Amino acid sequence: MSERIDPALPKAELHLHLEGAAPPAFIRGLSKEKNIDIAKIFDENGGYKFRDFVHFLDVYEAACTTLQTPEDFRRLTLAVLEDRARDGVIYAETFVSPDFCGGGDLVAWREYLHAIHDAALEAERTMGITLRGIITPIRHFGPEKARPIALCAAETVGDFITGFGIAGDENQYHPRDFTWAFDCAREAGLRLTAHAGEWGGAQSVSDALDHLKVERIGHGVQSIDDPALVDRLAENRITLEVCPGSNVTLGVYPSLAKHPIDRLRNREVIVTISTDDPPFFHTTLVKEYEDLAQTFGWTEDDFRAINADAMRAAFCDDATRQQKLKIIEGRA
Ligand code: ADE
Ligand code: ZN
């Protein structure tokens, strides 16, 4: 029998795409308001519908076409943070892609960012949840598009925008194609992460570490296939932002029992738990914890330790880190 995990357990979530967390009813509502025909991205129950990872990215981009104004992003951010707060999340980081808000134009981007940040501050006041933003170019849009995004990031780094990453189709382009963007972001003081080892195999993780010099890896689960890389991750305290439900739904692994998160943890790799794009994968952070407890026998103490690790790897200032750690460790 697995231990029951209190759904209100204080949580930190490091890997969440803002647009990917949009409830389907919210996107459908926007599509009606704006007369955009995206009926084909929904199934008969009103959920998102996709066949595989590449189709998922298409559906995702179609949903994003309904997000057209700063006000849309303000409403989206509030809706997403309400869902997180309901799951006990006290600290979250979200990927924001200027490709989907402002298209890399710095003036437009500042307006979107202002709306997202405003909503985050409102949620902090009313729900006690803290949000930080990670600016994220889309890998399959190519390195030329990543450059203006890196400049948007460098110009707006601050209390809210604290990180830079890359998402999208890992099988297109190579990490070395994005070194300019990552160097620019690093020089501006941003902390770095990259999606790797979700689809691309262990080599993709090594390449992200070597070429982009990131301190965290989005997913990174395929590292398990290279024992030397597993040692490297553990020794260098590279934190993996693992999204088990996303990996199983998209078919990276056939079941949670076959997922390597438990084996990685046993090899002393720092793993954290996130939902990625929760409505797409019919998941919540509470469900992820329940599933992990059932499958691997993880206890509340395990989850407390994982959340403390997540806060230690969070892209935030030290005062925020200490304040959240106190809550997670039951000292507040
Ligand atoms: N963008 C949104 N979700 C993603 C994922 N799981 N992998 C790569 N890019 C993404
Ligand atoms: Zn992701």
Q: Is ligand 1 within 6 A of the CB of residue 75?
A: no
Mutation choice for ligand 1 from 198, 199, 204, 253, CB with most ligand atoms inside 8 A? 198
Q: How far is the CA of 320 from the centre of ligand 2 (A)?
A: 24
Cα of 4 from ligand 1 centre, angstroms: 30
Q: How far is CA 186 from the centre of its chain?
A: 19
pLDDT bin (cut points 50, 70, 90) of residue 103 is: confident
The per-residue pLDDT for range 254-307, each reduced to its tens digit, is 999 999 999 999 999 999 999 999 999 999 999 999 999 999 999 999 999 999
* Strand ranges of the sheet holding 161-164, from the earlier edge strand across to the other edge: 11-13, 89-96, 130-135, 161-164, 191-196, 216-219, 239-242, 270-273
CA proximity to 168, closest of 133, 131, 143: 143
Give the class (CATH, top level) of 11-23+73-328: alpha beta
Task: Indicate if 198 belongs to the active site.
Answer: yes
pLDDT at position 102: 84
Q: Write down the pTM of the prediction.
A: 0.98
Look at residue 180 and tell me whether its pLDDT is greater than 90.
yes
| pLDDT tens readout for residues 144-157 | 999 999 999 999 99
SS3 219: strand
Mean pLDDT in residue range 242-250:
98
pLDDT in tens, 193-236: 999 999 999 999 999 999 999 999 999 999 999 999 999 999 99
Query: Amino acid identity of 172?
Result: Q
Ligand 1 atom at minimum distance from 170 CA: 8
pLDDT of amino acid 110: 93
Q: Is the CB of 219 under 6 A from ligand 1?
A: no
Helices (H), the chain: 24-33, 53-64, 70-86, 106-127, 143-156, 179-187, 201-207, 227-235, 244-250, 261-266, 285-296, 300-312, 318-328
Q: CA 115 → CA 104, 128, 155, distances in Å?
A: 16, 19, 17
Q: Whose CA is nearest to atom 6 of ligand 1?
A: 276
How many angstroms does the Cα of residue 267 sit away from the middle of ligand 2?
Answer: 23
145 to each of 26, 109, 142, 190, 196, how far by Cα in Å?
28, 14, 6, 19, 19
Spatial distance between the Cα atoms of 86 and 92, rounded to a whole number of angstroms: 13
User: Can you give the pLDDT at residue 17?
Assistant: 98
Domain ranges in the chain?
11-23+73-328
Q: What is the mean pLDDT of the chain?
A: 97
* Matching residue, tokens 């190519």: 142
> pLDDT tens-digit profile of 50-64?
999 999 999 999 999
Backbone Cα Rg of the chain: 18
Q: Which of 13, 93, 170, 198 is catalytic?
A: 198
What's the token pair of residue 230? 């597993």
> What whole-number distance in Å separates Cα of residue 254 and Cα of residue 247?
9
Nearest atom in ligand 1 to 277's CA: 3
Rounded-to-integer distance, Cα 114 and Cα 247, Å: 32
pLDDT interval class at 112 (50, 70, 90): very high
Question: 237: exposed, middle or buried (C-beta count within 10 Å: 0-12, 13-18, 19+)?
Answer: middle
Centroid of ligand 2 to alpha carbon of 20 (angstroms)? 9
Q: How far apart are CA 155 and CA 280, in angstroms?
A: 32
